[in-house]
């Protein structure tokens, strides 16, 4: 009775101790994952993308009000050419008087939104070549944008504004979404220069060209170091636990022999 109780206790102990050993041998989440297979071209939900990035709430609300979002999504879903959208941040809209947009007719607002996209996918590096030809936007032939690429700082000029691309939100063919810091304002919609919002106008955004540059490896370089050392530590301790648990196993199987 005493012996079998001891045996039960010992095997229980052995199970307790050996189970963390098994857990330790599982691949550590700290190790970099093996490279994933090339992703298949997948569906990009533009409304979802715009609702989490930015903030782009003003632009997204206008897209949904006018149903231009469907036009863009259809182009993204169903064409080989794809789409490139320039999305002004909320702060770009608040630079201008509210009446600039509330006074537009529904058709004008629609055209203004279509003016913020090309019916074709362009990567950032494509813009160098585009600066020579002023390509027409989704709004039609007379609605063109002039692109300039000044050693990596890309500007997209309309008649009354010359916003800079301040961030690449998404760019995988056939869909590109670039953040711009001003609203595009074409002559065909605004016959005079729209007035700036009074006083409250936020301070000009500090542009971060680094947003466009591939991120430097600094953060990544330091990461493997720490995960390496913690992996070494944990494998060392798993070895000692392993030894101990096999000892306990040996002792308990000794009891089994006695029984």
Ligand X SMILES: *[C@@H]1O[C@H](CO)[C@@H](O)[C@H](O)[C@H]1NC(C)=O
User: Residue 184 CB, nearest distance to ligand X (Å)?
Assistant: 9
Window 78 to 107, contacts with ligand X (CB under 6 A)? 78, 99, 103
User: Residue 150 CB, nearest distance to ligand X (Å)?
Assistant: 15
- Nearer to ligand X by Cβ, of 18 and 148: the residue is 148
Interface map 146-165 toward ligand X (x if CB under 6 A): x----------xxx------
Closest to 147 (Cα-Cα) out of 135, 164, 136, 131? 131
Three-state SS sequence of 61-76: HHHHHHCHHHHHHHHH
Identified binder of ligand X from the candidate list 34, 105, 125, 216, rule CB under 6 A: 125
- Nearer to ligand X by Cβ, of 24 and 77: the residue is 77
How many amino acids of this chain bind ligand X (CB under 6 A)?
17
Please choose, out of 46-54, 57-65, 69-77, 87-95, the segment that lies near ligand X by the rule CB under 6 A.
69-77
C-alpha distance across the termini of the chain, in Å? 10
- Nearer to ligand X by Cβ, of 77 and 171: the residue is 77
DSSP state of 187: T
Window 18 to 57, contacts with ligand X (CB under 6 A)? 43
CB environment 55-85: b (16+ within 10 A), e (fewer): ebebbbebbeebebbebbbebbeeeeebbbb
- Nearer to ligand X by Cβ, of 98 and 208: the residue is 98
- Residues lying near ligand X in the complex (CB under 6 A): 43, 70, 73-74, 77-78, 99, 103, 125-126, 129, 134, 144, 146, 157-159
């Amino acid at each position: 009775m005493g012996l079998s109780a001891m045996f039960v206790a010992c095997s229980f102990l052995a199970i307790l101790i050996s189970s963390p050993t098994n857990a330790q041998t599982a691949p550590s989440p700290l190790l970099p994952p093996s490279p994933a297979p090339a992703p298949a071209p997948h569906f990009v939900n533009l409304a979802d993308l715009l609702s989490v990035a930015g903030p782009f709430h003003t632009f997204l609300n206008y897209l949904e009000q006018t149903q231009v979002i469907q036009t863009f999504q259809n182009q993204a879903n169903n064409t080989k050419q794809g789409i490139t959208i320039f999305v002004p941040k909320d702060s770009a809209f608040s630079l201008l008087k509210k009446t600039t947009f509330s006074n537009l007719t529904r058709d004008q607002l629609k055209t203004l939104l279509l003016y913020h996209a090309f019916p074709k996918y362009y990567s950032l590096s494509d813009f160098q070549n585009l600066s020579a030809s002023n390509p027409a936007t989704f709004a039609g032939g007379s609605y063109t944008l002039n692109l300039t690429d000044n050693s990596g700082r890309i500007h997209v000029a309309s008649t009354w504004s010359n916003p800079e691309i301040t961030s690449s939100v998404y760019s995988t063919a056939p869909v590109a979404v670039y953040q711009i810091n001003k609203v595009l304002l074409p002559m065909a919609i605004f016959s005079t220069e729209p007035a700036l919002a009074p006083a409250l106008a936020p301070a000009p955004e500090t542009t971060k060209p680094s947003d466009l540059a591939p991120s430097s490896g600094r953060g990544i370089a330091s990461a493997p170091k720490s995960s390496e050392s913690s992996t070494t530590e944990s494998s060392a301790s798993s070895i000692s636990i392993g030894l101990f648990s096999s000892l306990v196993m040996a002792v308990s199987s000794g009891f089994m022999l006695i029984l």
